[in-house]
Amino acid sequence: MRLDAMDVSLLTLLQREGRLTNAELAERAGLSASACHRRVRALEQAGVIDGYVALLNAEAVGRGLTVLVLVTLENQRRETMQAFETAVEQVEEVMDCYLTTGAEDYLLRLMVRDARDYERVHRERLSGLPGVARLVSNIAMRKVFTRTAMPLSAGQAGSATRKAGSGA
Amino acid sequence: MRLDAMDVSLLTLLQREGRLTNAELAERAGLSASACHRRVRALEQAGVIDGYVALLNAEAVGRGLTVLVLVTLENQRRETMQAFETAVEQVEEVMDCYLTTGAEDYLLRLMVRDARDYERVHRERLSGLPGVARLVSNIAMRKVFTRTAMPLSAGQAGSATRKAGSGA
DNA sequence: CAAAAAACGCAAGAATCTTGCGCAATATGC
DNA sequence: GCATATTGCGCAAGATTCTTGCGTTTTTTG
């Protein structure tokens, strides 16, 4: 889907405030409510907007500590990797998992309560994951910043053409 | 703020579908619309809910490639770190920045179009950041999974007691 | 165990969404 | 270069949803 300047405005606003009312969104973007509504629906149906979520305060829900874990597998056979990936997704403290280039195989981002909680997760969950040869844990001493909003520019297109509609 | 089982239900639902109507949310949680509405507002005002955002399809907006960069500074003087942190936040391709334990100082997560685009960002943006001694780039060959929703359990409390109300 | 506090559901007025319609702007074909 | 098709726009009104006052029920507290 090709995005014009108005789409970029709408997406930029919704990336910051996903619960703007359609009327408010329209006004800020300088568009009528009906046109705005139709554009947003089109962006949702084209899969440009993947969904809407509430972001919680990590401290407030007892997950104030982020830990970044580098994982090295015993080998890189397809079955080994598949088994690891399936198992790691079951660990609810793991927020993201990337297969990476470099010396290690995977990078995980975990959110836990505190160091003591991480010790528990490491012992009860991570160390038992299949195929793991080595785990290197890097504690995030401080979150310098985190974003969910991607900066956009008009004219750029991708390959998404599905008809999804998850969190609308 | 102390969360009971109903709060956990509401937060769990809103973490997945942040744009549920109040009526729908209430029904799924087994609560009247008015009580539901009041609880959500309280969670927002207590800062448990930080805000609501639209999540975009990274491919569709031309940011299909994630790169994880380990940064080592020349030294760890306060001014060096401060200068780096201020500058790195200006680089719009950088989504997260953590100050970490371990051999390196910072971990960055970038979202870019492709390898060619990353080469440009590396050359024009990252290599010029103040205080940087070494950059180790790990390309995410594949996103195994990513989540924004944290699993919750009742009774847990944190330290958030502010009266924020950003993206509501 | 009684009083106080907190939370609930109902219901109605206010706000918002959603769509049909006619018009304007842009794209297409000759 | 111009006629025509296509796309997108704004208006307006019926349908939906939000939001809050109120009386009742449940939970907490002394």
Q: How many residues does chain B have?
A: 168
* B106 pLDDT higher than 90: yes
SS3 (DSSP) at A145: strand
* Architecture label for domain B5-45: Orthogonal Bundle (1.10)
Per the CB < 8 Å rule, is B150 touching A56?
Answer: yes
CA B157, CA A32: separation in Å to the nearest integer?
A: 43
Over residues B50-94, the pLDDT tens digits come to 999 999 999 999 999 999 999 999 999 999 999 999 999 999 999
Q: How many residues does chain A have?
A: 168
The CATH classification of domain A65-139, taken from the options 3.40.50.300, 3.30.450.20, 3.40.50.1820, 3.30.70.920:
3.30.70.920
Q: Which of A143, A148, A168 sits opposite B19 (nearest CB)?
A: A168
Which residues of chain A have a CB within 8 Å of the CB of B9? Answer: none
Cα–Cα distances (Å) from B155 to A62, B1, B28, B158, in that order, read: 10, 9, 21, 10
* B145 pLDDT higher than 70: yes
Closest CA to A43 of A57, A55, A62, A29: A29
**Distance between A18 CA and the closest CA of chain B, angstroms:** 4
**Is residue B19 within 8 Å of A167, Cβ to Cβ?**
yes
**Is residue B48 within 8 Å of B160, Cβ to Cβ?**
yes
* B156 pLDDT higher than 80: no
Closest CA to B151 of A125, A98, A150: A125
A32 closest-nt by C1' vs CA: D10
Q: Break chain A into its structural domains and give their ranges.
A: 5-45, 65-139
Q: Stretch B120-138: mean pLDDT, rounded?
A: 97
* pLDDT at residue B157 in the model: 61
* pLDDT at residue A127 in the model: 95
* pLDDT at residue B158 in the model: 54
- Phi, psi at residue B96, to the nearest 5°? -140, 150
Each of the 168 residues of chain A gets a pLDDT tens digit; together they read: 889 999 999 999 999 999 999 999 999 999 999 999 999 999 999 999 999 999 999 999 999 999 999 999 999 999 999 999 999 999 999 999 999 999 999 999 999 999 999 999 999 999 999 999 999 999 999 999 999 999 998 876 554 434 333 332
Over residues B9-49, the pLDDT tens digits come to 999 999 999 999 999 999 999 999 999 999 999 999 999 99
CA B73, CA A143: separation in Å to the nearest integer?
A: 17
* pLDDT at residue A154 in the model: 81
Buried b (16+ CB within 10 A) or exposed e, B48-87: bbbbbbbbbbbbbbbbbbbbbbbbebeeeeeebbeebbeb
Residue–nucleotide distance: A23 CA to C15 C1' (Å): 11
Q: Which residue, among A98, A111, A148, A152, would best test binding to B if mutated, counting the most B CBs under 10 Å from its CB? A: A98
Per the CB < 8 Å rule, is B145 touching A11?
Answer: no
- pLDDT band of residue B155 (cuts 50, 70, 90) is confident
* B140 pLDDT higher than 80: yes
